[in-house]
Structure 1
Amino acid sequence: MKGIYIVANDKVIENTIALLNSIRINDPLIPIYLIPFDDQYHNVAEIVTKKHDVKIFPDLKFIEDFTGQIAAIFDRDFLALPNKMRKLVQWFGPLDEFLYIDTDIIIFESLYPILDYLQEYQFINCDYHFKGRKLNDVFSSVVTEKNIFSSQELEDVFNSGFWGSKKGLFSISELYKILTECANNKEYFDFSQKTTDQPILNYIILKSTENRLNLVKLNNHEPGSWAGSKHFVEKDHKLYDKGKPLRYLHWAGVPLNPQGNYYELWQYYRYLGEEKPANISVDNHKTNYWDIIKNKARKLLKK
């Protein structure tokens, strides 16, 4: 079975709704599973299970046990939030082939053609991290100095917000072994910009796979996807990069608020199928956050 995993809790309920609205326009029936980030996920779960036909990851005990094992493997001065690694449980979930998508993303096309690449590849992603940020936010210079990975392998570094893989890529014991390698070699990783799971996930993939694909390398005309790029052109609630339609837009490290890039486009997807509030100020977005969430949740659940 092919499908999508997301990780969310009540704090990202707005972004989660926008993401799922954008997915359901293009793929009304694709299976979607929510992995709870922590125990504070019941409000978002109540909405998305009804509104978007999302299912909760079926083995919550496995998630709890996994989080506990992560906490045991990593010192807190290395990995302050073990829950950040919960996205790794999807290799042991119900989907045979899957995409993982961060909640600060909106989707512009069907995801099935992307998932089809997993018939041939063990791991897929779609971003320009290798070309822009390169090893920043992933690995330190120690990795190249000690030849931990080849220069060719390091061309496959990726942003951890949008990627896909297959169930059974490794066993849980094999994964714990790789994570222990990470914990014992903190100097390999670049956490200078407060990234969390991204360096670890890159290490896991480079160690575990040989057959990888970055979709932006398929040709010289693949569009971008980063909301920090201001040159995208909007038409009919989609974005275009020099005439090429974007697959998705990701606010990685970019403010997703009324003063940020493409915020009106995000609002379109957030309020798709419901009445958009007349005014959303920056102050209200911050100070009245939970009141806004509760009111919108009530409206959605009445539908």
Structure 2
Amino acid sequence: MTNGIYTLANDVVYDQLVALLNSIEANAGREIPVCVIPYDRRLDKVRAEIASRKNVTLFENESAIAYWENFVTQAWKTHPRTQRVWREWGVTGTYRLAMHRKLCGLNGPFDKFIYFDADTLLMGSLDYVYQKLDNHDWVANDFQYRSDLKYIFDGSPELLRKVFTQEQLSSQIFCAGWFAAKKQIFTEMMLADLLEKLKSGEADVMALGGPDQSLFNYMVLRSGVSYYNFAYHDVDQVTGNHWSSKFDVVDNVLYDQGRRLTYLHYMSIGSSQFTHLCAGEDVDIPYRDVFLYYRYLHSPESRPKTFNLPSPLTSLQRSTSSFLSHKAKRLMRKYRTFKDKISK
């Protein structure tokens, strides 16, 4: 039986991908094969990096990618609010469709796998996670269940009570940026049944802002696959994992009250921040030196020696670009709303 790790990446997150791969090599305790699922076709730097590593491969099963994108598209088409809300956001099709490619791990080469978003760093052994998969189909290790439910499910209270139990809503919610699962835990019959349930009106429970996370939670909770969350069942033993927490740093490894982290997640920090940092800009990223250590683990000579603030012109260009992008999206939403009104 083969254990492995998946991540989702393209050239946009190249610096983060390199840091993640180096952290796996440094902290896993043994060699674990890694498979990179392509976010899109921007892969020149990713392919070159993979070619330099003996235990890293690129997921190139186009039929599996097409299969899951088709399933995801069907699932979200059943949602009564997507066409209106996503269209107001300037989105055509399924919002963040490529993020759902994480599901390709269910058809990949590993019998048991752990998925890492590219904006994570491995801090310790994963053996205990793979062992838990001996008795469970899906495993998490995060405190998402303590967060506001609306980020996962935002349907009416009546519908939520109809679709899920209170125990599921209060204890089984998880973050889709890091999870473990077994290959092919969802059969064709199970997936068809999930689509039928979504079409029956249950799709309206799902939140639209983070579609992959919402759909994955729905699939796991509604299908009844065996689920376990270390951060819920072993709350006295697990550590935090989010960058906003206060951790101790010892030899470029993070500790939470003396306990070694399994992983650090830079969730919600834009990839451009890491790109600018690695280009020598003075960007304030939590645990910056730790990230830079792993990013340049095999090329310390390339690590920036000094960090400078961006020039006033660069700052202005970025601010202007951000403003225009935001304004364009607002105008497009207003235009589409006006167009809908006059077409009725």
**TM-score bucket of the superposed structures, by smaller chain:** 0.7 to 0.9
| Matching residue's letter, 2:9 | A
The alpha-carbon distance between structure 1 residues 180 and 281, as it changes in their structure 2 partners (threshold 3 A), is: farther
| Matching residue's letter, 1:15 | Q
1:271-286 to 2 correspondence within 5 Å? Answer: 271-274=296-299, 275=301, 276-281=303-308, 283=310
SS at match of 1:124: strand
The residue number in structure 1 matching 2:89 is none
The alpha-carbon distance between structure 1 residues 66 and 110, as it changes in their structure 2 partners (threshold 3 A), is: same
| Matching residue's letter, 2:306 | N
TM-score normalised by length of structure 2: 0.75
The alpha-carbon distance between structure 1 residues 168 and 42, as it changes in their structure 2 partners (threshold 3 A), is: same
Once the 2 structures are TM-superposed, how far is the Cα of residue 280 of structure 1 from its aligned partner? 4.4
SS at match of 1:207: helix
The residue number in structure 2 matching 1:268 is 293
Give the Cα–Cα distance (whole angstroms) in 2 for the partners of residues 195 and 26 of structure 1: 30
Residue 138 in structure 1 maps to residue 165 in structure 2: no
Identity %: 26
TM-score normalised by length of structure 1: 0.84
1:75-224 to 2 correspondence within 5 Å? Answer: 75=77, 77=83, 79-131=94-146, 133-142=147-156, 145-154=160-169, 155-172=171-188, 174-175=190-191, 177-179=193-195, 181-182=197-198, 185-191=202-208, 194-216=209-231, 217-224=233-240
Contact 2:190/2:223, CA 8 A, preserved across alignment: no
Once the 2 structures are TM-superposed, how far is the Cα of residue 56 of structure 1 from its aligned partner? 1.5
Gaps of 5+ in 2: 87-93, 274-282, 319-344
Choose 121-130 or 175-184, whichever is displaced more: 175-184
| Matching residue's letter, 2:236 | N
The residue number in structure 2 matching 1:17 is 18
The alpha-carbon distance between structure 1 residues 252 and 267, as it changes in their structure 2 partners (threshold 3 A), is: same
SS at match of 2:139: strand
The residue number in structure 2 matching 1:225 is 241
Once the 2 structures are TM-superposed, how far is the Cα of residue 115 of structure 1 from its aligned partner? 1.1
Residue 259 in structure 1 maps to residue 284 in structure 2: yes
Choose 39-48 or 252-261, whichever is displaced more: 252-261
Cα RMSD after superposing both structures: 2.6
SS at match of 2:156: helix
Once the 2 structures are TM-superposed, how far is the Cα of residue 142 of structure 1 from its aligned partner? 2.3
Deviations 1:244-289 (CA, angstroms, capped at 9, x unpaired): 211111011245742121122111111112121223446399989x
SS at match of 1:84: helix
Give the Cα–Cα distance (whole angstroms) in 1 for the partners of residues 67 and 186 of structure 2: 18
Once the 2 structures are TM-superposed, how far is the Cα of residue 138 of structure 1 from its aligned partner? 0.4
Give the Cα–Cα distance (whole angstroms) in 1 for the partners of residues 287 and 130 of structure 2: 27
The residue number in structure 2 matching 1:292 is none
Between structures 1 and 2, the one with greater helix share: 2
Once the 2 structures are TM-superposed, how far is the Cα of residue 203 of structure 1 from its aligned partner? 0.4
Gaps of 5+ in 1: 289-303
Once the 2 structures are TM-superposed, how far is the Cα of residue 137 of structure 1 from its aligned partner? 1.1
Give the Cα–Cα distance (whole angstroms) in 1 for the partners of residues 234 and 163 of structure 2: 26
SS at match of 1:158: coil
Contact 1:122/1:209, CA 8 A, preserved across alignment: no
Count residues in correspondence: 284
The residue number in structure 1 matching 2:8 is 7
Choose 212-221 or 143-152, whichever is displaced more: 143-152
The residue number in structure 2 matching 1:66 is 68
Give the Cα–Cα distance (whole angstroms) in 1 for the partners of residues 148 and 26 of structure 2: 33
